[in-house]
Amino acid sequence: MSFFNELKRRNVFKVGIGYVLIAWLIAQVLELVFESFGTPDWAIKTMLVLLAAGFPIALFLAWAYELTPEGLKREHEVDRSQPITPQTIKKLKGANNAGKKLNSIIYRSRCKGVVNWDLVNSILSSSTENNPANGITGVLLATETHFLQVLEGEFEALNATFERISRDTRHDQVQLISFTEIEERKFGGWAMHGIGLFDLNRELATLLRSKFGEDNGNIRLPCTPSEVMELLNILIPELKLDETNK
Ligand SMILES: Cc1cc2nc3c(=O)[nH]c(=O)nc-3n(C[C@H](O)[C@H](O)[C@H](O)COP(=O)(O)O)c2cc1C
């Protein structure tokens, strides 16, 4: 992930802009107050120096800490590979209970460059930032050359997310495998769970090659819903997915 993306993900830009705006507002108010009390010049200058000194501190705190629903946490304590927060899951379930239909999209696409963890992590970073707000959950599989993604959510949000992803220039040949209504989320605990099939242990890679075939030396990603469920059941057995994808 690039340094710029990392600054963005850690909200350093947002905090920086927010700080400047609030500091400017405080300076305006204090200037008015100081003027009416005839406060000496040095007091105004000290206040401006203090506000300026706070700027790098605010940026550092934004970089090092993250505000989570469980409170303020050190950035390295926030595990991005873990399920999204219980609060978000509750929200998602609430939306589900509100009577809106849930749908699931499965697609496969070809990556335009070589897939590696940098690329996968940068996609997961946008996903964990955008998906909770859109009520989207799912899983992203990546080989060295292809992606396979399952997205779940309410119809409109799901459609909009899929459309945005389809336009992403990092991949092409987006092939829809299924778009179905579902009773409940299968990946409800994940804003987007990433699995790098280019980085599996040898035993599992051999098993998947023998079951699903090879594509230029890589594990071939399946293109039928039942095969996709079979693959996911091998990779994430604890989910016990139903192969009919209902
Ligand atoms: C294979 C693939 C899967 C993606 N999955 C998601 C996703 O689940 N959610 C999402 O918001 N963006 C996803 N993206 C990224 C979007 O295409 C897009 O770059 C991003 O949403 C832009 O948001 P940002 O401006 O916040 O970075 C994916 C991209 C690719 C190539």
pLDDT in tens, 144-175: 999 999 999 999 999 999 999 999 999 999 99
Q: Which two tokens stand for residue 4?
A: 């710029």
Amino acid at 194: G
| CA 123 / ligand 1 centre spacing (Å) | 6
| CA 42 / ligand 1 centre spacing (Å) | 51
Digit-coded pLDDT (tens) for 177-207? 999 999 999 999 899 999 999 999 999 999 9
Task: Pick 76 or 245 by higher pLDDT.
Answer: 76
Report the mean per-residue pLDDT for the chain.
86
Task: Please state the domain extents for the chain.
Answer: 3-77, 86-239
Of all protein residues, the one whose alpha carbon is nearest to atom 27 of ligand 1 is: 126
- Separation between Cα atoms, residue 145 and residue 214, nearest integer Å: 12
pTM above the 0.85 mark?
no
Q: Cα 4 vs. chain centroid, distance in angstroms?
A: 16
- Separation between Cα atoms, residue 64 and residue 73, nearest integer Å: 9
Amino acid at 235: L
Mutational test site, ligand 1, from 14, 134, 164, max ligand atoms within 8 Å of CB: 164
SS (H, E, C) 168-227: CCCEEEEEEEEEEEECCCCCCCCCCEEEEHHHCCHHHHHHHHHHHCEECCEECCCCCHHH
| CA 23 / ligand 1 centre spacing (Å) | 34
Of all protein residues, the one whose alpha carbon is nearest to atom 18 of ligand 1 is: 165
From residue 35, alpha-carbon distances to 24, 29, 47, 159 in Å are: 16, 10, 14, 56
Mutational test site, ligand 1, from 165, 172, 173, 193, max ligand atoms within 8 Å of CB: 165
Q: What is the pLDDT of residue 11?
A: 81
Please determine, looking at this structure, whether the domain spanning 86-239 carries the CATH number 3.10.129.10: no
pLDDT score of 86 more than 70: no
